[in-house]
Structures are given as structure tokens and as C-alpha cells.
Structure 1
Amino acid sequence: MANILGNLNRASLIGGVLLLLTIAIFHGGILDINWVNALLRFAHVLVGIAWIGLLYYFNLVQIPTMPKVPAELKPGVTKYIAPEALFWFRWAALATMLIGLAIAGAPQQAYLVQALTFQPGVALIGLGMWLGIIMAANVWMFIWPAQKIALGIVDGTAEEKAAAGRKAMMFSRTNFVLSFPMLYCMVTRGVIG
């Protein structure tokens, strides 16, 4: 078992196969539109969990803990852990947003424009979509460019690195705050929206 699950690629492949089997069994044929819809919704939730999970990791664990880490140990985080986490963070943000927009714009759904313009019946999901779009934009336009400087991926003086670190933290904290109403809108939209 350790040979199989100890390898991330093998474990991911097994999870993917189990996912496809589950969807095929419970949602009909592979080319059925319900199957495609189920797969898109699952992908949206999966990458959304990765994105928001990393957002919470940064805000609840890494940012508050870094001042307590001894100086000689900080490069372990800034050179190895943070760049890898930021890779998954930014691509999960983009994937979450694009898949969500695809779901809302799919012919069988077709509520994208109505939601983004806050039409009755889809205003709540529309608010969630706008918050998600703003948060994804923050990741790509502010957090990632600032983190590249703060982590030394892009050259900068000590002052520029410190300012970039503060900027990245403030936009990350903004996303943390926005994630609460965004998640509420996404989770409850079918119940009350």
C-alpha cells in the first residue's frame, strides 16, 4: 500500500480513476451532458478547495508563524515551501474562476450574464462570482507579483522586498476577508438564491 499511496502521482491517478467511475456510474454515459456537468462542478470544487485551503494556510499559519521562525530556518520556507505553495495557489485560483465561469455559461445552465448583473434568482451566486473574480485578480495582479519580489525570485532591495511582502500580505488578507461571503454565496446559492 505504501508503494502505491506513497507516490503522489500514483495516488492522484487512482483518485482520478475512482472519480470517473463514480461519475460514470451515477450520472450516465461518459458523453452525457449530466456527466460533463458533474465533472466540471467537481473540478470547480476541487481546485477551489486547493485555492482557498492555501489562502487559509498563508493567513492562518505561514504569515503569523514566520516572525517566530529563526533566521537560519527561514530560507527553508522562502526558497522551497512558499514558492511551491504559491504555484498551486495561483493556478488553482485561475482554474477555479475559469471553471466556474464555464459552468455558469454552459448551454444547459446559461446564467452567467444574469448572475453577473445580479438578476433575480441568481443574484447571490452572482455576488459570489464577482467576489471570486476579484480574489483571482488579486492573486495574479498583486499577490504573485509582490511575492516574487519578497521571496527574491525577482531582484529587489531589502526595502523593496519588505514593501512587497507587506503588499502581498495585505492583498492576501483582503482575499481572506472576501472568502467568507464568497463561500457563503457559493454554498447557499441553490438553497436560497
Structure 2
Amino acid sequence: MAKIFGSLSQSLSIGIVLMVALIFAFHGSLIGSDTALWTMGFLRAAHVWAGILWIGLLYYFNFVQIPTMPQVPAELKPGVTKFIAPRALLFFRHGSLLTLITGLGLSGGYLVQALTFSEGFRVIGLGMWLGIIMAFNVWFLIWPNQKIALGIVDADADAKAKAAKTAMIFSRTNFILSFPMLYTMVAHGHIGAQ
């Protein structure tokens, strides 16, 4: 058991197999009879999973890593900056991309109505725009600056400090935007369209 639980890839594989087994057990009959409904359900599950990965790491950075780093002794910081942060940022940015892609896929025929805040689509439209802005921040502001701050891209100490500050500001921006974004995602499906 320790070998299975000690391996991320084995644990991930088991989790996916269990999910697929549940899909077939509860909704397997829809695959042939209502492919569109089954596809939307699959996209929704992937969207929620990717969103948890993305926002979970956003919260890790903002609740744990950013506030803790100033207290970490200098000789221990490379353990975070060379190993933990790059790996976390890999899953963070790809989680944002998968969340965005699956979210757009879920919008199906109402993408334009949502993005233009048409009647009945304002709540989800706002959530979509917040998600798009947040994903943009991840890929075009946070990640490029983190590469400099972490030394993945060569830069002098002043450039690293400036990049770290910029990455932190946009990480905090996404942290702030995550609260209304999460509300709109839940509200659209459960409180009613606006």
C-alpha cells in the first residue's frame, strides 16, 4: 500500500479509474443515448477538477508560500525556489489553461451571450470574464515574472526583486478576483440566471 500511495502517478491513475468507473456505473447508458449530455457532464467534471487544482495552488501561494518565504532562512530558500515553486507553478499555469478550455467548452452555444452579458447570462458571463482575466494574469504576468524571480531566466538581483513583486501583485489580484469568480460559477447553476 505504501508503494501505491507513495507514488503520485499511481494515486492519480487510481483516482481517474475510480472516476471513470463511477461515470459508467451511474451514467454509462447516456454515452450512446445522449452523447451531448454525457460530454457536458465530462467537461463539467474536468472543469471543476482543473479549477480546484488552479485555485487550490493560488490559495497555497497566497496563504502559505508568499507569507512564509520572508521567515525561511536564506540557506533553505533554494529548496522552495529551485524545487517546490517551479513544480507548483507548472501545475498552477496548466490548471488555469485546462480550466479555461473546459469552461469555454461548457459554454456551448451561449458563449457570445455570456461574454456580452446578455439577459440570462450576466452572472456566468462575469464569471467567464474573471476567469479569462485570471488565466491571462497567470500566463502573461505571473509566470514570466516568476521565471525571472526564481532564476529560471538570468537576471540581476534588482530585476529579480522587481519581478518577484510584480508576480506577487498579480497573484494577489487573482486571489482577490477568485472570490467573485467562484461565486458567479456557483450562482449561475444553483441560484438562477440573471
Cα distance in 1 for residues equivalent to 2:14 and 2:30: 20
Q: Name the counterpart of 2:70.
A: 67
TM-score scaled by structure 1?
Answer: 0.95
Identify the range of structure 1 (48-57 vs 19-28) with the bigger mean alpha-carbon deviation.
19-28
Q: Which AA in structure 2 matches 1:122?
A: F
The reply on whether 1:132 has 2:131 as its aligned counterpart is: yes
Cα drift, residue 34 of structure 1: 2.1
Q: Name the counterpart of 2:3.
A: 3
Q: Which AA in structure 1 matches 2:10?
A: R
- Paired residues, what number? 189
The 3-state SS of whatever aligns with 1:192 is: coil
C-alpha spacing 1:83/1:57, structure 2 compared with 1 (3 Å): same
Q: Name the counterpart of 2:117.
A: 118
Displacement over 6 Å in runs of 4+:
none
Identify the range of structure 1 (161-170 vs 24-33) with the bigger mean alpha-carbon deviation.
24-33
Cα distance in 1 for residues equivalent to 2:164 and 2:25: 48
The 3-state SS of whatever aligns with 1:156 is: coil
Identify the range of structure 1 (8-17 vs 27-36) with the bigger mean alpha-carbon deviation.
27-36
Q: Does the CA-based 8 Å contact 1:23-1:38 persist in structure 2?
A: no
Q: Name the counterpart of 1:94.
A: 97
Compute the RMSD of aligned alpha carbons: 1.1
Cα distance in 2 for residues equivalent to 1:29 and 1:119: 31
Cα distance in 1 for residues equivalent to 2:132 and 2:78: 32
Which stretches in structure 2 are left out of the alignment for 5+ residues? none
Q: Name the counterpart of 2:175.
A: 176
Q: Name the counterpart of 2:47.
A: 44
Q: Name the counterpart of 1:187.
A: 186
Q: Name the counterpart of 1:82.
A: 85
Cα distance in 2 for residues equivalent to 1:186 and 1:172: 20
Identify the range of structure 1 (27-36 vs 39-48) with the bigger mean alpha-carbon deviation.
27-36
Q: Name the counterpart of 2:144.
A: 145
Identity of aligned residues (%): 62
Write the mapping of 1:19-38 to structure 2, written as runs, cut at 5 A.
Answer: 19-27=19-27, 28-31=29-32, 32-38=35-41
Cα drift, residue 29 of structure 1: 4.1
Q: Does the CA-based 8 Å contact 1:24-1:35 persist in structure 2?
A: no
Cα distance in 2 for residues equivalent to 1:181 and 1:7: 36
Cα distance in 1 for residues equivalent to 2:81 and 2:138: 18
Cα drift, residue 156 of structure 1: 0.5
Deviations 1:35-68 (A, max 9, x none): 2211110000001000000001101110000000
Q: Name the counterpart of 2:160.
A: 161
Q: Which AA in structure 1 matches 2:74?
A: A
- Work out which of the residue numbers 49, 53, 58 in structure 2 matches 1:55: 58
Deviations 1:77-96 (A, max 9, x none): 00000000000000100110
Which stretches in structure 1 are left out of the alignment for 5+ residues? none
Cα distance in 1 for residues equivalent to 2:41 and 2:19: 10
